[in-house]
Structure formats: C-alpha cells, structure tokens
Amino acid sequence: MRLFTVLSLILLVAPLQAAETTVQKNTVESFVRLQGIVEATNAATVSAQTSGRVEQVLVDIGDVVEPGATIVTITSTEQYQAVAQALAQESAAQATLVAAQREYDRISSIVADGLLPKAELDRVEAALRNAQSQVKATQAAVTRAREQLSYSSVKAPYGGVVSERLVEPGEAVQPGTPLMSGFDPTTLRIHVDVPMTLARAVGRFASARIQTQDGWVEPTQFKLFPTVDAASASVRLRLTLPADLQLLPGQWLGVSVKTGEYQGLSVPVEAITQQGELTLVKLASGDWRAVRVAEPYNGRVEILSGLSAGEVISYE
C-alpha cells in the first residue's frame, strides 16, 4: 500500500516531457573506498637566526600572510652596534689602504730613480697587499653584520596561513628558536595507505577521486610509493589536490581508488528518483521500478539490481 501511494505521488508530479534510453551494459569502474589525511606540501616553522628578545609578533594563528611579509621583530641593539663597529673597521682599513697606496707610489718612484734598493719596494708592496686584504676582510664583516641585522626582522618565506604561534613579545630567543609555523593552503595533498594486496591494481589504473563537502574531485597528480610499510602492510599513495579546495591539513577525507573494470549497467543520474527509503526509476511503460544503486559519479550511476539490459527507462 505504501509503495502504491509513493508511486501515485510520483505520477502526479511527473513532467509531461521525458527522455528515453535503453539500459545497456557498458564498462563500469570498480573502486575501493579508503581514508586519507590532508597535508600541506609547503609547510614550515620559521626559526630565529639571531639572538635577542622578541619585540613584536605581528601575526596570529589563522592570519593570511603575503610572501616576504614581516611576521616577528627581534630587538636589534646589538646588531646595530655590530654594524657600526664593522663600518668603523672598514673605514679604518680604507684609510690604511690609501696611505699604503701613497707610500707604494712614492717608494716606487724613488726605486725607479735608483735611490733605494728594490727590497724597499718589495716591503711597501707587501704592505699594500696586506692593506687590500684588510679592506676585503672588513667589507665581508660589514656584510655579515648587516645580514645579522636583517635577521632581526623575520619574514614569511612564502604566502600562506599561520598555523602556530610559538613566541610572545619579551621572550628571549637564540638562533634556532622556533617562532611561527604556517602552510600554503593552495598546495595541499592527501596521503592514503593502500592495502598491499591492492597495490598492483591501484598502480595499474592510477586513478582516484576524493570526496569533499562540495562533491567529488580528481587529483592533479597520482604517486604510488615503491615501498611497503611492514608495520601496516600497506603502500603509501600521494594525491596532489587542486588549488581551489577549502581544505585544512590534518583533515580526513574519503578517497575512492580505482582497482578494476567490468561490464555492468549504468544510467544517467537524472533517471534516479529518491522517495524516502525507495530508489526508483521510471520505465518507458510508465511503471516505476525499485532499484539498488552504487554511488553516482560523472553524471551516471551504476544499477546493482532491479533493471536488466534492454529495458527502456524514461527520465527528465
């Protein structure tokens, strides 16, 4: 009686015009349903490269940062002093070089006139080379000091989202102290552990689809690892995700991985009508038939039971 009532309601609301198609056998893909965990391809923890105290923390968890943006500043008094000292040493070395060059030019002229032995020229030439070396050394020291000063302003290595804040203003830091963690939400991938017994079939077909809250998506890259994890008897599968998905690292998603193909029945997803617990298709005769179906994909749904090849169905 209940089925009759449901079918009567369907008939009342059915459209006047409908398409017809003959149910035929075609190639149906078989998938195994697994779970995978999302991870960021680009994820990093930024650490201090100089010593001092944290002056400012300019971003917080969840903030979006641009590449090269300043995220933390560290007190830089010592670094400024080091730069000033290095510049003073460079200036002194430059003055010494100027004096050495003048002395070399003077002695060179006198030796050329035969008024001094060549040994004297060798002496001032060695002094000149030493002064030149000192200038190069002090210039390198200035570069290093300025580099250390630049480390007091910590930059984001790439654009992304802050996932962890590890310091607060006033905390003392040393080179290597973790400051901030983040990831790039546009470069995500998902790791799936495939049972070893299915690994060969999975590698053969190299096809998968991921179920998100917005529907099924296909990966942009498919990589099956060449080794087996002995503890879990599984092979790692890595799927690179499209850039426009709103997903987060650590999130678990359903993943359907292709393991084979066979001949089966499928119909357009529009031919399926759901009424409560009943899944129905309309025959060309106007009768309704209860069927059992698999998950829809790419606009079609596999008929597991309830229809036979050659039957004609009608749908909008």
Mean pLDDT taken over the chain: 89
Rounded to the nearest angstrom, the gap between the alpha carbon of residue 284 and the centroid of all alpha carbons in its chain is 51
Give bridge partners of residue 264 from the DSSP assignment.
26
12 pLDDT above the threshold of 60 = no
Which residues, including other chains, have CB under 8 Å from residue 14's CB and lie 6 or more apart? 282
Mean pLDDT of the region 210-225: 93
10 pLDDT above the threshold of 70 = no
SS (HEC) of the chain: CHHHHHHHHHHHHCCCCCEEEECCEEEEEEEEEEEEEEEECCEEEEECCCCEEEEEECCCCCCEECCCCEEEEECCHHHHHHHHHHHHHHHHHHHHHHHHHHHHHHHHHHHHCCCCCHHHHHHHHHHHHHHHHHHHHHHHHHHHHHHHHHCCEEECCCCEEEEEECCCCCCEECCCCEEEEEECCCCEEEEEEEEHHHHHHHHHHCCEEEEECCEEECCCEEEEEEEEECCCCEEEEEEECCCCCCCCCCCEEEEEEEEEEEEEEEEEHHHCEEECCEEEEEECCCCEEECEECCCECCEEEEEECCCCCCEEEEC
Q: Give phi and psi for 50, each to the nearest 5.
A: -150, 165
Which residue, chain included where needed, has tokens 């991938």?
A: 189
pLDDT for position 137: 94
Do the Cβ atoms of 303 and 271 come closer than 8 Å?
no
pLDDT for position 2: 46
CATH fold for domain 2-41+187-315: Elongation Factor Tu (Ef-tu); domain 3 (2.40.30)
Tokens matching residue 271: 């031919």
Mean pLDDT of the region 214-223: 93
Find, among 249, 295, 298, 260, the residue nearest to 36 by Cα. Answer: 249
Which residues, including other chains, have CB under 8 Å from residue 100's CB and lie 6 or more apart? 124, 127, 128, 130, 131
Q: Give phi and psi for 148, each to the nearest 5.
A: -60, -35
Find, among 300, 183, 291, 185, the residue nearest to 246 by Cα. Answer: 185
9 pLDDT tier (thresholds 50, 70, 90): very low
4 pLDDT tier (thresholds 50, 70, 90): very low
Q: Lay out the sheet containing 160-165: strands in order across.
A: 43-47, 178-183, 160-165, 64-65
pLDDT for position 3: 44
CATH fold for domain 43-74+158-182: OB fold (Dihydrolipoamide Acetyltransferase, E2P) (2.40.50)
Convert the pLDDT of each residue in 260-301 to its tens digit.
Answer: 998 988 888 898 999 888 999 899 888 899 999 988 877 888
The model's pTM is: 0.65
Dihedral sign, Cα of residue 258, residue 262, residue 268, residue 274: negative
Mean pLDDT of the region 137-143: 92
Mean pLDDT of the region 7-13: 45
Q: How many angstroms separate the most distant Cα atoms in the chain?
A: 131
Domain range list for the chain = 2-41+187-315, 43-74+158-182, 76-151
Q: What is the CATH number of domain 76-151?
A: 1.10.287
Convert the pLDDT of each residue in 56-99 to its tens digit.
Answer: 999 999 999 999 999 999 987 777 888 889 899 999 999 999 99
